[in-house]
Structure 1
Amino acid sequence: MPPPPPIRLGPPHPYLKTHGGKVATVHLFDWVVLALLVAIDVGLNLIEPFHRFVGKDMMADLRYPMKRNTVPVWAVPIYAVIGPIIIIVGIYMKRRNVYDMHHAILGLLFSVLITGVLTDAIKDGVGRPRPNFFWRCFPDGVPKYDNITGGVICHGVPSVIKEGHKSFPSGHSSWSFAGLGFLSWYLAGKIKAFDRRGHVAKLCIVLLPLLLAAMVAVSRVDDYWHHWQDVFAGGILGLVVASFCYLQFFPPPSGEQGFWPHAYFEHILNPEGEGQVQSTTNSNHHQSLSGGPVAMEMRSTGQESLDSIEEGRRAR
């Protein structure tokens, strides 16, 4: 009688319905930290920023006209957060990998919220006046200065004056590069932009979110809400944080495993008994950890799953 065929120990596919609760529970503390970051950022926007000294001789560079925002404040979270989330969810609908969707959304939110806290903390600490500070301070165009120090004596609306001391760095720029920069990293991994096959079209797709973020940053200078140094520093800050947050959850896009997050490969190689025959003795468990036949079969199946992913097929 021929021996029975070997048992395939492939992990179950991580759908939202079957694995969503488990993934969210494992990262419950991370979601609590996100809520804490939101509270901190709200507090930073409520406190009064440092009022840097502004003298009469400094007003020559601060008399730019008051203009409306080309990109409204309410639009920033739409294109920098909601837009990327829609793309991430769309990829989940096609690939059905809850690890990818959860970690991408979590990394995106960490990127924008860490950037937001850093940006607002620096704004409050630096207190640099905006290019249109003159009209915020003197809305009627009649300046008034201290006779001794030569400092401004503002008689404008307090909330408008408060906002006038928040020029450095640019929040629009930092948020844009944090959210859209993360999206660029994410798309680079999904379309394998750096597979060394020379597909320039893939590179254009990766650079498109960064171009949008750059145009938002340029609009802040055109609207006279920021100096060029503000948007440059904000853009660098957002992009650096986005890079750290992406690489916390995903391998580099140029790597062979750059398609899925780290946690998914852990799920493949160490599925923790999901859909498998469980060992009931410590000796068998030790054997699986030390390279026995069970571990070899798991690694073999995991590699086949990875190969299937690389070929664009769903792991079975």
Structure 2
Amino acid sequence: MQMETHLGEHTMRSHGFAVAKTHLYDWIILLLLVLIDIGLNMIYPFFRFVGEDMMFDLKYPLKSNTVPVWSVPILAVVLPMVIFLVVYIRRRDIYDLHHAVLGLLFSILVTTVITDAIKDAVGRPRPNFLWRCFPDGKDVYGEWGNVICNGDKLVIKEGYKSFPSGHTSWSFAGLGFLSLYLSGKLKAFDRKGHVAKLCIIFLPLFAASLVGISRVDDYWHHWTDVFAGSLIGIVVATFCYLQFFPPPYHPEGWGPYAYFRMLEETRGMTQVPNAQNGNQTQMAQLTEAQVENQEGQSHHGFMGLSLAGNQTSTLEDELESGRK
């Protein structure tokens, strides 16, 4: 609790540039991940063999998306960032805002690259593949029994990207990160038994689950695609969160590692001058004591000499009187 009293001293204006500069290479890697994902979307996926006997599970209707593609970034990226900003306005901690945004973007982009790479490598047909391949409903097969599609090339290309679900992995990567973030901020695992906190942190995961269910209901994915996408998203989100924040059950789980490291460095810098001042004070006290001792020794030395002289004269008198 004493550490929380330092909040508000590190704002975007005072420390924002310095914090971002410290993680310059991380931001460069983010741009590299964007370029890699663009390349993965430009290449064609593996055109897996699809025979006539395999069409039984691929004849579902080609429907529109219940959750549009454009809405997924809003749900998985924009919404968490808005919450990060709200927390920043309240706490005024640029370390928390910067690392939350950086961790979220890493979670999203790493998940996207993994998902799209697997999509291209596997080339699994979607449940609505028949209507993508044959818009007229008349299927045609070649010499080896493989399909000979006559539909739109881009639509067919997307038809080979069923596994894993991109909508689902994106949702769990962003909203899973948000759930971990809220767990730390609300101190959900402080052993006080406030179940209401769990209800709050389950909301993002519930929304991500609904996105995954919609992909099966729309016949764009098999259930195994959704399960794999959710697993990829939540695992990557957990790794990215723990890279910047302590586990939510940790006593210091409410703040990023960088914040507590900064406090330790600040405390160390303040302790060094105090130690130096203390040493100087001790040296001054020792010097004063030495001067007093020297003065006392010189003063007592003078008296001692006089006493010694008196004692010497007294002994001489006694000896002389004894002789007499």
Does the CA contact (< 8 Å) of 2:61 and 2:128 recur in 1?
Answer: yes
2:40 aligned with 1:44, yes or no? Answer: yes
User: What CA distance in whole angstroms lies between the structure 2 residues aligned with 1:23 and 1:67?
Assistant: 46
CA distance, structure 2, for counterparts of residue 161 and residue 52 of structure 1: 12
Aligned equivalents of 1:208 and 1:89: distance in 2?
19
| Distance in 2 between residues matched to 1:55 and 1:277, nearest whole Å | 75
Which residue of the partner structure matches residue 313 of structure 2? none
Shift of 1:165: 0.2
| Helix, strand or coil at the partner of 1:196 | coil
Residue 152 (structure 1) aligned to one of 138, 147, 151: 147
1:264 is aligned, of 245, 248, 259, to 259
Task: Tell me if structure 2 keeps the 8 A contact 1:180–1:209.
Answer: yes
- Structure 1 residues 117 and 11: CA distance shift in structure 2, 3 A: closer
Is the CA contact 2:30–2:109 (under 8 Å) kept in the aligned structure 1?
Answer: yes
Q: Distance in 1 between matches of 2:122 and 2:8?
A: 52
Is the partner of 2:250 in helix, strand or coil? coil
CA contact (8 A) 1:11 1:268 kept: no
**CA separation of 1:84/1:11 partners in 2, compared to 1, >3 Å: closer, same or farther?**
closer
SS at match of 1:178: helix
The share of aligned pairs that are identical, in percent, is: 62
Contact 1:11/1:271 (8 A) holds in 2: no
Query: Is it true that 1:239 corresponds to 2:234 in the alignment?
Result: yes
* Partner of residue 13, structure 2: 17
What RMSD in Å do the two structures reach over aligned CA positions? 1.9
Q: Given the superposition, is the C-alpha separation of residues 272 and 120 from structure 1 closer, same or farther in structure 2, using an over 3 Å criterion?
A: farther
Task: Judge conservation of contact 2:126–2:160 (CA < 8 Å) in 1.
Answer: yes
Pairing partner for 1:204 from 199, 205, 220? 199
Equivalences, count: 271
Output the TM-score relative to the length of structure 2. 0.81
* Partner residue in 2 for 1:141: 137
The aligned residue for residue 87 of structure 1 is 83
Aligned pairs (5 A) from 1:1-316: 13-146=9-142, 148-271=143-266
- Over 3 Å counting, the alpha-carbon distance change for 1:11 and 1:193 in structure 2 is closer
| Preserved CA contact (<8 Å) 2:45 2:121 | yes
Q: Which amino acid aligns with 1:230?
A: D
Identify unmatched segments of 5+ residues in structure 1.
1-9, 288-316
Q: Which residue in 1 is equivalent to 2:287?
A: none
Query: What is the alpha-carbon distance in structure 2 between the residues aligned to residue 182 and residue 91 of structure 1?
Result: 15
CA deviation profile, 1:143-193 (whole Å, cap 9, x unmatched): 1111x3111100000000000000000000000000000000000000001
List per-residue Cα deviations over 1:88-123 (Å, max 9, x = no partner).
011000000000000000000000000000000000
Instruction: Indicate if the aligned counterparts of 2:106 and 2:240 stay in contact, CA closer than 8 A.
Output: yes
Q: Secondary structure at the match of 2:198?
A: helix
Aligned 8 A contact 2:65 2:218 in 1: yes
TM-score (norm 1): 0.83
Q: Given the superposition, is the C-alpha separation of residues 149 and 11 from structure 1 closer, same or farther in structure 2, using an over 3 Å criterion?
A: closer
Measure how far apart 1:18 and its partner are.
0.9
- 4+ runs of 1 displaced by more than 4 Å? 276-279
Q: Secondary structure at the match of 1:131?
A: coil
For residue 271 of structure 1, report the CA deviation from its aligned partner: 2.9
Shift of 1:272: 8.8
Distance of 1:15 and 1:252 partners within structure 2: 24
Distance 2:110 2:78 in 1: 17
Q: If you compute each CA radius of gyration, which structure gives the higher value, 1 or 2?
A: 2
